[in-house]
Structure 1
Amino acid sequence: MTERHYNEDHCEPIRQRLSNCTTQFDLLRLLREITQFYGYSYFFVAGSGDGAISSLADSIIITSAPSDLIRRYDETGLMERSPLMRALSGMGAPIQCRLDEPFKALTVDEQAALDAFSAEFNLDCCFITPVYQREYGPAAVCFLGKCKPMSFSDTANLAMISNLAHQKLRRVSAQPNKTDSPLTERERECLVWTSSGKTSIEIARILGLSEHTVNHYLNNAARKLDAVNRTQAVALAIRQGFID
């Protein structure tokens, strides 16, 4: 099996490229490249946060997957028994799960639901790396797609990259909101992505929200900043130091 390596012939060393990421958008773009390089279609970073997780949508921190994929998976009702849930409980090692092979723990109906979901989005495998940081608790970096099993070397490399990417994501996301800011963290996130040129649909995909919810956050932000539209809201937020 052909092994893939991040080296000077392909791009800059991955550690250096991650260190150069200063925003979630930078990291999203790099993770999309990594996703494609390893033959997958989508990635997502999930976390358990402070509360119980009952759905994939609740766990998403950042993703390239379409909102329809996340919604459809949650409709299968398989989240609580998934390898991702075990990873979000702080258990397990990196694992490549084949979606084109039966899961012994599933009932006939559950297996049928998983098969239908996989066929709809052309998926046959996922790779999950549990990650942990003391300040944030357990999380996971996941890749989904239709590709051949990875070699041991590729598995180790992608697990290492996943850990580094999660650490970087937490650092670039940790920039505190100004104490006098009227914006909630979600409103601030939506404005940041708007300032990067993202549409509501794209922001919804990145944050794992609905387009309606993103528009709600942006409208609230504009109202709080006394702006006539989201473009002016971004300009005012930057001018007042509420976003970078």
Structure 2
Amino acid sequence: MGDDLISAPLPVEQMKARLDAVEGFIKELGLSRTQFDVFRLMKRVTDYFSARVFMVMNMPPVGSPTLAASSVITNWPAEMLSEYDSHNLLLSSPVFERLRSVSVPFAFDMMAVARERDAKTSEITKSLFSRFNMPRGGCFPVCDGAGNRGIVTWTGDMPAFSTPDMMALNYLSAHIFNRLAEIRDMDARVTETLTEREIECLNWTAAGKTSIEISEIMGLSEHTINHYLNRATKKLDTVNRTQAVAKALRLGLIK
């Protein structure tokens, strides 16, 4: 499961190209404002390193039966994740057992991991990860500024990650998990600062009402309604009402 699965080092030219790409990803990450922004970036990182899927998750509590409950963002196929959880594979996962006891990144091979399981879950694991073309990958333990532990993984049918790849992905993982925590904190502050009137206006906008219609419903002037909506748009760090409504829906501020 460990260092012996890492491939030979890259040539100097390829290593420099990797570092330049990582620098670009980090700059773009700093401009991300939503989880979806980070999701799109993660897809490009995944493609760049020839992997198939990624997952950013909080460290699952001991005894947690499902992986989905700890996932923050992922592009794992829904069917794959559902099957993984339906067989309770997290409870007996050698990968997560190791992740709870180490703070260093490591590569893994699912066939080797499966051999560490009991006979029943071993066969299920081999079949599942083979069917979805996810035979190997890398795990990167991370933590945010508040000390919350997490994990970033990349999995696929690519060749084993090189040492420079593991170093680059480890560096990226730390930045990704931290940025997601920052976005979560920003969202929490927005939730606290939006007023009841602003949320009500967003609710009616989401229902398809115009400013004039909302003014009639709420018994306020159209100018006042526009003022509430413009202020809500700025507080949500969005550029228009459509984006404001979409973000408010995502944050659970409106339904």
Q: Give the TM-score normalised by structure 2.
A: 0.66
Residue 245 of structure 2 corresponds to: none
The answer (yes or no) to whether the contact 1:24–1:172 under 8 Å persists in 2 is yes
The answer (yes or no) to whether the contact 1:42–1:64 under 8 Å persists in 2 is yes
Residue 32 in structure 1 maps to residue 43 in structure 2: yes
Tell me the distance in 1 between the aligned counterparts of 2:83 and 2:47: 23
Q: Secondary structure at the match of 2:18?
A: coil
Residue identity opposite 1:20 in structure 2: L
Residue 114 in structure 1 maps to residue 130 in structure 2: no
Tell me the distance in 2 between the aligned counterparts of 1:81 and 1:231: 51
Q: Secondary structure at the match of 1:225?
A: helix
1:14-25 pair list within 5 angstroms:
14-25=25-36
Name whichever of 15-24 and 55-64 sits farther off: 15-24
Residue 98 of structure 1 corresponds to: 109
Tell me the distance in 1 between the aligned counterparts of 2:209 and 2:142: 36
Give the deviation of 1:128 after TM superposition. Answer: 0.8
Change (3 A) 1:98 1:182: farther
Unaligned stretches of 5+ residues in structure 2: 1-7, 211-225, 238-255
Give the deviation of 1:7 after TM superposition. Answer: 4.7
Tell me the distance in 2 between the aligned counterparts of 1:26 and 1:119: 30
Q: Secondary structure at the match of 2:112?
A: coil
Max radius of gyration: which structure?
Answer: 2
Unaligned stretches of 5+ residues in structure 1: 184-220
The count of residues paired between Structure 1 and Structure 2 equals: 204
Residue 160 in structure 1 maps to residue 171 in structure 2: yes
The answer (yes or no) to whether the contact 1:127–1:144 under 8 Å persists in 2 is yes
Name whichever of 18-27 and 166-175 sits farther off: 18-27
Give the alignment partner of residue 71 of structure 2, picking from 54, 60, 74.
Answer: 60
Residue 178 in structure 1 maps to residue 170 in structure 2: no
Residue 138 in structure 1 maps to residue 130 in structure 2: no
- Residue-by-residue CA offset, 1:67-125 (whole Å, 9 max, x unaligned): 22211111232102325533663634211110133534211111110011112211111
Tell me the distance in 1 between the aligned counterparts of 2:180 and 2:82: 24
The answer (yes or no) to whether the contact 2:144–2:181 under 8 Å persists in 1 is no
Superposition CA RMSD, Å: 3.5
Change (3 A) 1:173 1:110: same
More helix by percentage? 2
Give the alignment partner of residue 82 of structure 1, picking from 69, 93, 103.
Answer: 93
Residue 151 of structure 1 corresponds to: 162
Residue 136 of structure 2 corresponds to: 125
